[in-house]
Amino acid sequence: MSIDTSKRTNAVEIMDDFDLKGQELDKTLRDLDNINKWLGGNKITLDAVKAIVEDQPKTKKIHIADVGCGNGAVLREIAKWGRKNDYKIKLTGIDANTHAIEIGKKLSSNYPEIDFLALDIFSEEFKDFSCDIILCTLTLHHFKNDEIIELLKLFNQQSTLGVVINDLHRSKAAYRLFQAFCAVFINNEIARKDGLISILRGFKKEELKAFAEKLPQTKHQISWKWAFRYQWIIQKEKI
């Protein structure tokens, strides 16, 4: 079958259904977390956080929020790193799926530095939210281009230190390699189907640069990472 990666697809993922719940949701989130670990995805986000906080004093408490947090896997990785390196960190997971939030709370019971909010990021309540760093790991591709521009402007306003985007590179090679990877390692139909749609909803570097141009007075670092990811760090220009 021919794969068209010239434009972002409008196909809908099963995980976009916020009513997905129970064992099916729990298993799918765990499988997606494993895929992320095996392919180095969490490290991309953590490395970007390190780059932003390296100039901050360890006496300062840093508030980091993960938008579209799922079951909080990225937050727990950052919490472990913060503990090991003596950083004072407050972590907030935000997701519109209340069932995912409940799973995240249970899995994070040993992490008092993590809390969770069930919020729609297009709600007025979310607009009042603020923190130091906003993370958006494998979440941005769920939205249409005009929504992405709106969200990026909001994230930039809400964060004092920066925004970290970790998302997929849309390419035929990524699509085919993920098919092969799933055939061997993933026995979960939702993870397989959504993973392929996610790639087709992903980005090319030129598209990310075009989004960046919509954010005045900011500096951007957009880097390609294995496996077929973009790490995008957004920070306000120092005056």
Mean pLDDT for the chain overall: 92
pLDDT digits (tens, 9 = 90+) for 18-59: 666 667 677 777 777 777 777 777 899 999 999 999 989 999
Confidence of residue 233 (pLDDT cuts 50, 70, 90): very high
Which residues, in sequence order, are bridge partners of residue 168? 229
Which residues, in sequence order, are bridge partners of residue 136? 165
Distances (CA, A) of 58 to 112, 114, 160, 236: 19, 18, 16, 21
User: What are the structural domains of the chain?
Assistant: 14-236 (3.40.50.150)
Confidence of residue 198 (pLDDT cuts 50, 70, 90): very high
Which pTM was predicted? 0.93
pLDDT the model gives residue 38: 72
